[in-house]
Amino acid sequence: MTTTTEVSSNLLSTMNGTTSSTKASSTEEIRNQFLTLLISQMKNQDPMNPMDNAEVTSQMAQLSTVTGINDLNDTVNTLMGNVSSSQYYQASSMIGHGVLVAGDSLSLSDGASYFGVNLPVGADKLTVTIKDSAGNEIKKMSVSGVEAGVLPLSWDGLTDSGTTAADGNYKFEVSATVGSSTVDASALSYQQVLSVSNTSSGVKLNLSNLTSVGTADVVEIF
């Protein structure tokens, strides 16, 4: 996808006479080209990697300096509103879906619980330790020969003592090793997206554990 910076720099170069099309293009035409490309980006952006409002504002400010368009502030405000609305409606498609986000909590319901681990490098052995609300270890799980990346996991509620854990909330810890060396491993909590909010700090996903995260915080969608 063409980035905002690439679109803006190309058009700004055109306005400064560094391309052969400068003489044939008026300021109004160049502005229209810029806006057309930017709006196209907004429509086709990845909701997991939305356009940065600050970057768009910076590029539009540069355009204003070069062209001297007096009404560009109104255009910027309109575009920022469009960017925000576009991100909001795209994020709303995630409502009802499960997501993996950074966290060490898991919820057991009807003998099923889901979570995940993120490994920046492969590991010979991955160990998951599940604890109850009192901090007691009730289940230890091991996986061998794990590749780098996100690994979705599940727990059926069966404890190491052979009993079935009660439905409810639990915590888990992860560790990984290569040979005798420990490698990084990040715990990922599975949550349902209940709703979406358009806040002053951007679009937020409201999760089933009553927390909110940005779309960029989502590691995987189900």
**Which pLDDT band, with edges at 50, 70 and 90, does 64 fall under?**
low
| Phi, psi of 14, deg, nearest 5 | -60, -45
Residue 222 forms part of a structural domain: no
- Does residue 84 share a domain with residue 14? yes
User: Are 74 and 106 part of one and the same domain?
Assistant: no
Q: Indicate if 118 and 182 belong to the same structural domain.
A: yes
Same domain, 18 and 42: yes
Structural domain count of the chain: 2
Q: Is-contact 41 1, C-beta < 8 A?
A: yes
The predicted structure's pLDDT at residue 89: 74
Domain limits for position 82: 4-93
- Confidence check: pLDDT of 187 > 80: yes
Mean pLDDT of 105-129: 97
pLDDT at residue number 92: 86
* Whether residues 85 and 136 fall in one domain: no
Write out pLDDT tens, residues 132-179: 999 999 999 999 999 999 999 999 999 999 999 999 999 999 999 999
Return the H-helix or E-strand segment holding 200.
none
Structure tokens at 182: 């420990």
Contact present, 202 and 182 (Cβ < 8 Å): no
- Flag whether 198 is in a domain: no
Query: Between the CA atoms of 10, 13, 17 and 21, what dihedral angle is there, to the nearest 10 degrees?
Result: 0
pLDDT at position 57: 67
Beta carbons within 10 angstroms of residue 165's beta carbon: 19
Using a CB cutoff of 8 Å and minimum separation of 24, what contacts does 131-140 make? 131/170, 131/171, 131/172, 131/173, 132/165, 132/170, 133/168, 133/169, 133/170, 135/171, 138/165, 138/170, 139/165
Cα Rg of the chain, angstroms: 24
Say if residue 89 is in the same domain as residue 102.
no
Whose structure tokens read 């991100």?
87
Rounded average pLDDT over 24-31: 62
Model confidence at 185: pLDDT above 90: yes
Does residue 19 carry a pLDDT above 90? no
Cβ atoms of 37 and 30 within 8 Å: the answer is no
Question: Which residues sit opposite 131 in a β-bridge?
Answer: 137, 171
Query: What's the confidence (pLDDT) of residue 142?
Result: 96
Q: Domain check: are 112 and 187 in the same one?
A: yes
* Average model confidence (pLDDT) across the chain: 81
